[in-house]
A and B are shown apart, each in its own frame.
Chain A
Amino acid sequence: MKALRYLARNPVSLVGVLILLAFVLIAIFAPLLAPPQSFQLSPYDTPRAGFLATPMPPSRDAIFGTTQGQYDIFYGVVWGTRTAFKIGLGVVAISVLVGTIIGAVAAYYGGLIEEVLMRIVDVFMAVPFLIAAMVLTALLGKGIWPITIALTTFGWMSYARIVRSEILRIREMDYIHAARSYGASDLRLIVLHILPNAMFPVLVLATMATGSMVLSASALSFLGVGTEEGYADWGQFIAYSRNWIVGQPGNPFQFWYTLAFPGAAVFLFVLSWNLVGDALRDMLDPRHSH
């Protein structure tokens, strides 16, 4: 109820929720929107209309046109939505899990264990994120899993920091002292009383990170270490468009469609997650709701 009332008062947030819903629907109904052909080994292999290098403008057969190598842009954008959800949600879910465990262990045990764990966090924080993710992806090979593993390996630290500091803060609150006084065990305190309240900031961070992780994943594809050739992945399609930025003389916007559609897809996807994250923060943190 509170959420609905908030959305009614904040049309911008409402737009974010609606865009996100639209992407969910596109991802679910991808097989209907862009049915894979029978000869495709995987629905994520974008079908191509020939092997000509030069992109073709939107037509009846390919409503968004075809990009370099005649890959169908509409098909790539539709199935790329599934790729984006897989990577975004996958990376964030694993990162939250790893970060929460490490942050909770650090806060719970304290002392040397906390010191060592938080210094490990510091070291990972000092790593150039995108470059490190590129190296790991290049080592692991192409595909969704290498990307997910690489982005998770270098992206879990902020959750560990937040969880730890939230636990340290909440641990000293009255209701925890009360629970302890009638005999709740430490584990019970952490899992049932402290963690649920520590998860709100994590939720906000995770929502915002989902968008930015999809950005990073697309950036990996853009920089040439992401998915296989022709995989339905927005970053890869944007990478193709890079070769066709300059049109023929007198027609500078000749290949606009190669950038416009996949670019708009990434932009709207990230925008919707950011708007939803923003709304969540406003709702959960009364200090921000002015």
Chain B
Amino acid sequence: MLNYALRRLMMLPIVLFALSLMIFALQMSLSPTQRLAAYAPSPDYLKGGQESIRRMIEQYGLNDPFYIQYGRWIGGILTGNLGWSETARQPVSTALMSLFPATLELVVLAFIPCLLLAVFLGSRAGIYLNRWPDHVIRIFTILGWSFPVYVFGLLMLLIFYSALDWFPPGRLSQWAQTIVSSGDFVRYTGANTIDAILNGNWAVFIDSLRHLAAPVITLTYVNVASMTRVMRTSMLETLRQDYVRTARAKGLPRRVVELKHARRNALLPVATIAGMELAVMMGGVVITETIFDYAGLGQFAAKTAANLDFPAVLGFGLYFAVVLVVMNLIVDLIYPLLDPRVKTQ
């Protein structure tokens, strides 16, 4: 088991190398003049006419062969310098690190209700197979699965912001932002809710929850569908097992058999899917963050991609790959705890 996990971890450098090569190749498809824009401190530098542009291309070596440019670029990255993000107007690593807590906060808050709801609905659907709870849950999940995030999100804005004015977009209200950026408010984690509690500022805490509510509802609803389906299928599979029949035959109450014996074992495949889903969500909830103007990694990634801000795109890509591999590793390591049979194999 550990062997397998280690082998997976050893894949990481290869994946990262290939990824960097791929993104660099995309970048190289731009002309040297276009790429120069990434180095120029301000657009005025490019107004100096053909001669100065040529000189700068020369200076930064933008006409060198592919492998020389790639080597120079990767050399910088290996020394921990991810480059400068034109979009964020700060170093890529600084931008990623300052946005990470925001996304983590949002994802964790959405993931927990999502998982609980999926386990509850999925096991119910399995128990009441082909009866009305199953049908209702099936329709609910297939609707959620087909609902475009951006349409659902805009609907949330329409109802909870435009009509009711409960859940405004953004991360904080203006007044709360002023408090948070002031020197008195200590940024322990970068996550607004936790920092507000640690600072004992309940007004800011409530305000950050109000801003989190709509994106959390959106993410939960849109993601709960796939997990519920897995839970249902897995529950059906488990309910057909011999040991379940034995438990029933020896006269245990239905509820005990279904919820204690069957549901626990049915959780196993859900753990795998949940881990993957969490990984993808941690990699930035691009559309949700964009709709609700929630300044997190996803919104940042979308902006940089649209602006072809390659240093930032690469930084984000590397972060995403690392998250994916690490999350998979964690799932692999947790699995034997959930299912002792895996250890003995």
Interface residues of A (CB under 8 A from B): 12, 119-120, 122-123, 126-128, 130-132, 134-136, 138-139, 211, 215, 218-219, 222-225, 238, 241-242, 245-247, 252-253, 256, 259, 263, 266-267, 270-271, 274-275, 278, 288, 290
Give complex CA distance A136, B305 in Å: 9
Do residues A290 and B129 form an inter-chain contact, with CB atoms below 8 A? Answer: yes
Q: Mark B147-178, 1 if CB is under 8 A from A, else 0.
A: 11111001101100111000000000000000
Do residues B15 and A122 form an inter-chain contact, with CB atoms below 8 A? Answer: yes
Do residues A274 and B18 form an inter-chain contact, with CB atoms below 8 A? Answer: no
Contacts of B139 in A (CB 8 A): 12
Q: Mark B116-151, 1 if CB is under 8 A from A, else 0.
A: 000000000000011000000011001101111111
| Closest B residue, CB atoms, query A128 | B320
Do residues B302 and A223 form an inter-chain contact, with CB atoms below 8 A? Answer: yes
Contacts of B308 in A (CB 8 A): 135, 138-139
- Stretch of B47-55, B92-100, B280-288 lying at the A interface: B280-288
Do residues B22 and A127 form an inter-chain contact, with CB atoms below 8 A? Answer: yes
CB distance from B224 to the nearest CB of A (A): 15
B78 on the A face (CB < 8 A)? no
Contacts of A245 in B (CB 8 A): 154, 157-158, 161-162
- In the complex, the number of residue pairs spanning A and B with C-beta atoms less than 8 Å apart equals 133
CB distance from B92 to the nearest CB of A (A): 14
16 contacts between A and B (CB under 8 A): A12-B142, A122-B15, A128-B284, A130-B302, A132-B305, A135-B26, A135-B313, A219-B150, A223-B305, A245-B162, A252-B158, A252-B162, A256-B158, A266-B151, A270-B148, A290-B130
Do residues A224 and B306 form an inter-chain contact, with CB atoms below 8 A? Answer: yes
Whether A126 contacts B146 in the complex (CB less than 8 A), given A131-B316, A225-B305, comes out as: no
CB distance from B204 to the nearest CB of A (A): 25
Give complex CA distance A38, B198 in Å: 66
Do residues A126 and B287 form an inter-chain contact, with CB atoms below 8 A? Answer: no
Q: Name A238's contact: one of B146, B154, B157 (CB within 8 Å).
A: B154
Whether A130 contacts B147 in the complex (CB less than 8 A), given A274-B142, A290-B236, comes out as: no
Give complex CA distance A246, B18 in Å: 45
Do residues A123 and B150 form an inter-chain contact, with CB atoms below 8 A? Answer: no
| Closest B residue, CB atoms, query A272 | B146
Give complex CA distance A263, B287 in Å: 15
Question: 8 Å CB contacts to A: which residues of B291-336?
Answer: 291, 301-302, 305-308, 313, 316-317, 320-321, 324-325
